[in-house]
Amino acid sequence: MANCLVAQSGGPTAVINASLAGVIRANQLNPLYDRVLGGLHGIEGTLAGSLFDLTDLSGREIEVLKQTPSCALGTCRYKFSDEADFRRLIDVMDENDISTMFYIGGNGSMSTVAAMTAWAAERNLDKRFIGIPKTVDNDLGLMDHCPGFASAAKVACEITHATRMDYDAYTRPEVFVLETMGRDAGWLAASTCLTGDVDLLGDSLGVLFGDSTEVVNLYASDAYMEMAKMEQQGSCYVVVSEGARWYDGTYLSANGKAADGLGHAMLGGAAGRLKSMIVEAGIVPRCVVQDLSRVARSSNFAMSLVDLEESYDLGVSAHMRSAKPEFTGQVVGIRRGRGVDGGYNTCPAADLANFVRPFPSEWILPNYQGVSDEALDYFRPLIQGEPKLICENGIPVTMRPFNRR
């Protein structure tokens, strides 16, 4: 038998390592491959030949790996397109007798899966590439939801409720602004409305947001500039996504011309910008900002049991489906509900590559004062359950990252 390769890419999540654990454990139970090799720092490290043998992890190590947030193999944001990259990856696979590569990631990673599949097919190479999804943005199409999103949403909800309780303890006039990740898809920001604590949702902050084509000038928006809730109850709790845009379509928080390795704008600071606008407009003399950013995506203290189980199962499913020689260029995904197939399906990686599924604009309430019952019904089942974590000295045990060994 040949070996297989597993690598991780893009932003970390609380459950990305559960999918990795699923591939490893599945091969221990049904050895389709001699060795399971991990590519350190995604495709970038793999091209450099940086691999780690994961085959013989113990049962306890796999359980700890499942509950470990972030990327245990290390990650990257690397634009894979040069002919030399294609050839180098095949060389690394040949040098290590690798027939199949599992790539865990988001839109960009699925683009790599699609590109490598097409490149290998054109040259009649016996190499296979399979995608396993993850993203806190929840913006991958052709599946009900994405692994990693539910746990990030659960953390965001808990922090929303905790900070709202703290905020409500005071009588002084101020606006509270919570910023979430999720880029401009808007799912993560919208999920905080599950708590019932959000007065105004910054998914449409004077902006093009979600799949809305509505253009609203922030300074002309009654919902924001009058801060209706301030007048009614003397307080206003706002949640804004890092990907909020100005009315002309530019990001509220884009860091100048800075971009990551895939050319995406580097976001962050939308809440701070909004704070300045609120204070400068004279709405209130004080505005408090809370930035969730990385704490929501790489925390396991509020991990969703549903999310953890689905992520692990997708790793197992990808391995199982790879038993069929023709299974390549595909991504395993999640259906809503569980049927005879366990609630999982597959779709071509090419159909997901660099495609963004936005939060439906019809799920946003008038004047951006929350989301619809349909949206709440979508979110609620995803954050259910709390995994029983292995703890030592009062905190969850985590795996020492393989890229740090």
Three-state helix/strand/coil letters over 120-157: HHHCCCCCEEEEEECCCCCCCCCCCCCCCHHHHHHHHH
Q: What is the CATH number of the domain that holds 307?
A: 3.40.50.450
Residue 109 lies in a domain: yes
**pLDDT digit of tens for each residue in the chain (405 aa)?**
899 999 999 999 999 999 999 999 999 999 999 999 999 999 999 999 999 999 999 999 999 999 999 999 999 988 777 899 999 999 999 999 999 999 999 988 999 999 999 999 999 999 999 999 999 999 998 899 999 999 999 999 999 999 999 999 988 888 899 999 887 778 999 999 999 999 888 754 433 333 333 333 343 344 454 455 566 667 889 998 888 776 667 777 755 545 545 555 566 678 888 888 778 877 788 889 999 877 888 888 899 999 999 999 999 999 999 999 999 999 999 988 654 445 889 999 999 887 788 899 899 888 788 999 999 999 999 999 999 999 999 999 999 999 999
Q: What is the DSSP letter of 389?
A: -
Neighbouring-strand partners of residue 174:
286
Residue 366 lies in a domain: no
Predicted confidence at residue 255, as pLDDT, reads 54
Rounded CA separation 43/48 (Å): 9
Predicted confidence at residue 387, as pLDDT, reads 97
153 and 291 in a single domain? The answer is yes
- Both structure tokens of 178: 């919570």
Predicted confidence at residue 297, as pLDDT, reads 82
- Both structure tokens of 375: 């949206």
316 and 276 in a single domain? The answer is no
Residue 363 lies in a domain: no
Predicted confidence at residue 282, as pLDDT, reads 77
263 C-beta neighbours (distance < 10 Å), count = 9
Catalytic residue selected from 85, 137, 184, 197? 137
Amino acid type, 306: V
Predicted confidence at residue 78, as pLDDT, reads 85
Q: What pTM did the predictor assign? A: 0.91
Active site (annotated) includes residue 126: no
325 C-beta neighbours (distance < 10 Å), count = 10
Closest residue by Cα to residue 54 from 11, 23, 32, 29: 23
Q: How many domains does the chain divide into?
A: 2
Predicted confidence at residue 147, as pLDDT, reads 96
Predicted confidence at residue 340, as pLDDT, reads 45
The number of residues in the chain equals: 405
Neighbouring-strand partners of residue 175:
236, 287
181 and 293 in a single domain? The answer is yes
Residue 210 lies in a domain: yes
293 and 157 in a single domain? The answer is yes
The range of the structural domain enclosing residue 242 comes to 149-297
